[in-house]
Amino acid sequence: MLLAAPFNNPAFDGCFIINSTREVAVLPAAALEIVRDFRHAVIEQIQLNLPEQSHAAVMADIIWSTLVEACLEANDRLYRRGWQARVTGLLRFLRSSVDR
CA distance 20 to 23: 5
Task: Say how many Å lie between the first and final Cα of the chain, rounded.
Answer: 23
Would you say residue 90 has pLDDT above 60?
Answer: yes
DSSP 98: H
Provide the pLDDT for residue 72: 78
At 45 the three-state DSSP class reads: helix
**Would you list the domain boundaries of the chain?**
16-99
Q: Tell which wins on pLDDT, 61 or 97.
A: 61
pTM of the full predicted structure? 0.69
Closest CA to 77 of 3, 18, 13, 22: 13
